[in-house]
Amino acid sequence: MEMNQTSNRIHPLMAGAAVSVMLVSLLGVAAITGILPNSHGTAAETARIAAQTAVVAPAPIQQAAIAPAVVKQVVEHKTIVHHQYAQHHAAPTRARPVQVAQAEPVRQYSPAPVYQQPAPATQNSPVGIGVGAVVGGLLGSQVGGGNGRTLATIAGAVGGGYVGNEIAKRNQ
């Protein structure tokens, strides 16, 4: 008789996934608490940093040729929007006649039309619900075995009660 022994070792892909989740979680906590620096720079900070790096400290002259100091300039791009629309010159048109305001015509009001009242909602039929539940329960008890049979019987009774009620409503 052979016995299959299961290994208690975790699969390497699962271990890698667990390590990845832990690493991302730790980075998130570090970013929220302020341990990690943020990357939200502004143009003013960029210009200040560029100006600091452009300043060259005086050094003692030890070489015959002095290299020229490199000055970096920060270029800012701005979008300019002009709110003027192009005007097209159209061909001259004839003068239009002046429109004269006219009095509103007299309105005659009539009574609103009479609508039919909707038919009263049919009521639930206890006979239809009972017969449908019994038939549905009997059909459900023929399916499955054990707890599945019990569940099928209950579902059949509920569904049969609903269907029996609907049939009774339509046949009133």
pLDDT of residue 125: 80
**169 is a domain residue:** yes
Q: What is the mean pLDDT of residues 86-107?
A: 69
| Least confident segment among 39-43, 113-117, 132-136 | 39-43
Structure tokens at 158: 């509920």
Which residue in 27, 49, 48, 45 sits closest to 36, CA to CA? 27
Q: Domain containing 168: what range?
A: 124-172
22 has a pLDDT exceeding 90? yes
Domain count, the chain: 1
**105 is a domain residue:** no
Return d(Cα 6, Cα 16) in angstroms, integer: 21
Calculate the average pLDDT of the chain: 77
**114 is a domain residue:** no
Return d(Cα 40, Cα 61) in angstroms, integer: 40
Residues in contact with 129: Cβ distance below 8 Å, sequence separation at least 6, in sequence order: 161, 162, 164, 165, 168
**71 is a domain residue:** no
Express each pLDDT in 123-141 by its tens digit.
888 888 899 999 999 998 8
**12 is a domain residue:** no
